[in-house]
Amino acid sequence: MGEPVAAALPADPFPRSLWPRVAAVALVVYIFYACAQLEVSWERVATGLHNAARFFSRLFPPNFSRWDLLVKGLSESLEIAVLASALGIVLALPLGLCAARNLMPPWVTWPAKLVIVMSRSFHPVIVAILFVKAVGFGALAGILALTVASIGFIGKLFTEAIEEISLKQVEAIRATGAPFASVLAFGVLPQVFSRFIGFATYQLDSNLRNSTMVGIVGAGGIGGTLFAAFQRFDYDFVCAILIAIITLIMAGEILATAVRAIFIENATLRDLFRRGAAMRRVRHAEED
Amino acid sequence: MLTLRHLSKAYVAGTPVLQDVTLEITARGITAIIGASGTGKSTLIRCINRLVEPTAGEILFEGTDLAKLTGQALRHARRHIGMVFQEYNLVERLTVIENLLSGRLGYVSAWRAWRRKFPPEDIRRAFELLDVVGLAGFAHQRADALSGGQRQRVGIARAVMQEPTLLLADEPTSSLDPKTSVEIMELLAQIARSRGIPVLINMHDVELAKRFADRIIGMKDGRVVFDGRPAELDDAMLTTIYGGRGWLQ
């Protein structure tokens, strides 16, 4: 009589295993070890915050008097980002296609995958340093560095997108007697097109951000100006540069959203404006 | 027209799915292949246009052995064999008219296909055919916006765009409701009649096969166990094909 006892259960539906717990304990131990190793302590954080407050107070008000330098740096960054994205995408498409295991034989996918993995191995700044050594200071090094980054990123995502497509649709196109290139055009690419637009715009966004940074190692763009301003303690100019970069990134973000909406959701330009208006109306309604 | 000689297929060596199938498809009209799931009906159909590689045997189609073809010769042979699929296999993100025109890809160069430059004659025929299958006005809808019956109509129209001399259909009605199934079978019968081509269809539904087919082929365990007119298919034969008899009422 009464409740059945736990021992009567045929099996524990949630068996507990040992190894995840051991791993969790090991992770906690490692975190403490790393803190000790790197001499991270509360005192240092506290003094650091004090210094940071002084630094931030010197950032304001921003100084836009050298706007010509600002515009030159920004437009160079923009050019680097657009060129690197375009070149990267053009190179990544065939490479990503070659790396897709469901379409290509292993002797094609392995070399393609190797190139993509190598493009992804290093941070763009490290690649930029290499290219500065190779082709000298300036925007060309930045373009090449970000092209490599784009190949790695788009190549990998494009390959994954192709490997996830429905082969039934491909089979149907093959059954019509279509040559391989036509099978790609009608059976494969339509299935990955919208995702491709998604990561191409994301990559442009990412390249914009990185193009403001490669200048620090001498590969062109606003980063060089920013770094020089830091070293001369022109903190008000630094602030102006940071504001300009934020503006550029936000503009890129808005553009990317618009492109995605047009290609993926079949929106028209007028829809986009209307959607903005509709959202404002909703916000007003909520406030009322 | 189409002759299969000693066709065999084993996906895993030692466990054949098709065993020594010999068939001749000559007459126009509908030939239905019936049999329980897993008896190799789909494999048989797919071996004919080499979507599945046969392990042994010959596929004689218009005087050539398809089993031996590779590369361009195989592609050219496939142009004349239209195929309709159970799950329609439309390219979901393309429009209806693009799906229809994809039936012409075997005839149009890849360079033109990439630029979407189809001959005006093909485009005119695609719109005519859209009318024939009852989808006039749907040309610019995306395939993923259609219902099952509409999709299968597009699938059939795509196959007919190939100007096939043989039409294969792999369970074309299995994903559809009974009424739509009959409509799709009527459409296939109409195409078989008007174009004077043989249509080879895999089916689950025995009643539908009896109603529409001019000839029925029964398969069991990868072998042909019945080949005759629908009237000759009696309960005893159905028991042989499907096993048991409880389901016969």
Q: Do B102 and A173 touch (CB under 8 A)?
A: yes
What is this model's ipTM? 0.91
Structural tokens at position A268 = 């028209």
* Mean pLDDT to the nearest integer, B45-55: 91
Residues of A whose CB is below 8 A from B75: 177-179
Residues 44-63, chain B: which have Cβ within 8 Å of A?
A: 49, 51
The 8-class DSSP code of residue B7 comes to E
**Interface contact B105-A171, CB threshold 8 A:** no
B58-109 tens-digit pLDDT: 999 888 898 888 889 999 999 999 999 999 999 999 999 999 999 999 999 9
pLDDT-derived band at A122, boundaries 50, 70, 90 = confident
Q: What is the DSSP string of A126-154?
A: HHHHHHHHHH-SSHHHHHHHHHHHHHHHH
Considering the domain boundaries, does residue A57 fall inside one? no
Contact (CB<8Å) A171/B98: no
Count Cβ atoms below 10 Å from residue B89 Cβ, excluding itself: 24
| Overall average pLDDT of the A106-120 stretch | 92
Residue A52 lies in a domain: no
* CATH number of the domain within which A131 lies: 1.10.3720.10
The pair of three-digit structure tokens given for residue A100, joined into one six-digit string: 């897709």
Please, are residues B100 and B158 in contact by the beta-carbon 8 Å criterion? Answer: yes
| Cα A279 versus chain centre, distance | 27
State the average pLDDT over residues B151-177: 92
CA distances from B146 to A189, A215, B224 (A): 21, 52, 37
Per-residue exposure over A213-239, b if at least 16 CB sit within 10 Å of its own CB, e if not: bbbbbbbbbbbbbbbbbeeeebbbbbb
Among A164, A168, A169, the strongest candidate for a mutation testing the B interface, having the largest count of B CBs within 10 A, is: A169
pLDDT at A66: 80
- Kindly calculate the radius of gyration of chain A based on its CA atoms and give it in whole angstroms: 26
Model confidence band, residue A5 (pLDDT cutoffs 50, 70, 90): low
Could you tell me the residue range of the domain that residue A211 belongs to? 69-287
CA distance A139 to A236: 26
Distance from CA of B28 to the nearest CA of A (A): 21
pLDDT in tens, B178-235: 999 999 999 999 999 998 899 999 998 889 999 999 999 999 888 899 998 988 888 8
At B94 the pLDDT is 92
CB neighbour list of residue B43: distance below 8 Å, 6 or more residues apart: B9, B17, B18, B52
Which residues in chain B have their CB less than 8 angstroms from residue A174's CB? 51, 78
- The count of domains in chain A is 1
Q: What is the pLDDT of residues A225-279, one digit of tens each?
A: 888 888 888 888 888 888 988 888 888 888 888 888 887 776 677 776 776 666 6
* pLDDT at A123 (0 to 100): 87
pLDDT of A3 above 60: no
Per-window interface: A 183-202 vs B, CB < 8 A: 183, 185-187, 190-191, 193-194
> Is A213 domain-assigned?
yes
Which chain A residue lies closest to B108 (C-alpha atoms)?
A178
pLDDT band at A282 (very low <50, low <70, confident <90, very high): low
Task: Supply the pLDDT for residue A162.
Answer: 93
Residue A163 lies in a domain: yes
Look at residue B249 and tell me whether its pLDDT is greater than 70: no
**Secondary structure of A170-236 in the HEC alphabet?**
HHHHHHCCCCHHHHHHHHHHHHHHHHHHHHHHHHHHHHHHHHCCHHHHCCCCHHHHHHHHHHCCCHH
Q: Please count the residue pairs, one from chain A and one from chain B, whose beta carbons lie less than 8 angstroms apart.
A: 89
Mean pLDDT on A102-117: 92
pLDDT at residue number A284: 61
> Does the residue A246 lie in any domain?
yes
State pLDDT tens for residues B186-200: 999 999 999 889 999
Percent of chain B with pLDDT over 70: 99
Contacts B83 to A, Cβ<8 Å: 172, 175
The residue of chain A with its CA nearest to that of B144 is A191
Q: In chain B, which residues have their Cβ closer than 8 Å to the Cβ of A181?
A: 110, 113-114
Which chain A residue is nearest to residue B163, measuring alpha carbons?
A176
Note whether B93 contacts A187, CB cutoff 8 Å.
no
One-letter amino acid at A90 equals: V
Task: Report the 10 Å Cβ neighbour count for B186.
Answer: 12
Residue A2 predicted with pLDDT over 60: no
| Contact across the interface for B103 and A187, Cβ inside 8 Å | no
Averaged pLDDT for residues A64-75:
84
DSSP string across A111-124: HHHHHHHHHHHS-H
A residues 162-181 near B, CB within 8 Å? 166, 168-169, 171-181
How many angstroms separate the CA atoms of A61 and A243, rounded?
A: 11
Adjacent-strand bridge partners of B61: B2, B64
Q: Determine the distance in angstroms separating the CA of B248 from the nearest CA of chain A, rounded to an integer.
A: 34
DSSP at B112:
H
- Distance between CA A277 and CA A280 in Å, rounded? 5
Domains of chain B: 1-80+164-249 (3.40.50.300), 90-163 (no CATH)
| Beta pairing class for B56-61 and B2-9 | antiparallel
**Cα-flanking dihedrals φ and ψ of residue A90, to 5°?**
-60, -40
Name the residue in chain A with its Cα closest to that of B82: A176
Q: Is the pLDDT of residue A141 over 90?
A: no
- Higher pLDDT among residues A7 and A135, named by residue: A135
Is the pLDDT score of A283 beyond 80?
A: no
**pLDDT score of A211 more than 90:** no
Helix (H) or strand (E) holding B220: strand B215-220
- Domain contains A153: yes
Residues in A touching B169 (Cβ below 8 Å): none
CB contact under 8 A, A186 and B91: yes
Minimal C-alpha gap between B103 and chain A (Å): 6
Q: Is the per-residue pLDDT at B242 higher than 90? A: no
Give me the pLDDT at residue B233, please. 87
Residues of B in contact with A162 (CB under 8 A): none
Q: pLDDT of A12-59, one tens digit each?
A: 788 778 888 999 999 999 999 998 888 877 888 888 888 888 878 877
Q: How confident is the model at residue A7 (pLDDT cuts 50, 70, 90)?
A: low
Q: What is the pLDDT of residues B99-139, one digit of tens each?
A: 999 999 999 999 999 999 999 999 999 999 999 999 988 98
- Which residue type is seen at B182? V
Q: Do A172 and B113 touch (CB under 8 A)?
A: no
pLDDT above 70 coverage of chain A, percent = 92
A34: in domain: no
Residue of B214, B136, B151 lying closest to B183 (CA atoms)? B151
**Residue A11's pLDDT is what?**
79
Q: Distance of CA B242 to CAs A242, B6, B221, B223, Å?
A: 76, 23, 10, 13
For A182, nearest residue in chain B (alpha carbons): B110
Q: What is the mean pLDDT of residues A91-113?
A: 92
Alpha-carbon gap, residue A145 to A130, rounded angstroms: 8
Residue B20, H or E segment: strand B18-25
Q: Is residue A9 part of a domain?
A: no
What the block records as the tokens of B243 is 């096993």
pTM above threshold 0.80: no
Q: Look over chain A and give the mean of its residue pLDDT values, rounded to a whole number.
A: 85
B114, exposed or middle or buried, with CB in 10 Å at 0-12, 13-18, 19+? middle
Q: Tell me the residue type at A45.
A: V
Within a 13 Å sphere around the CA of A193, how many CA atoms are in the beta-carbon half?
18
Reported as type and span, the H/E element at residue B41 is: helix B41-48
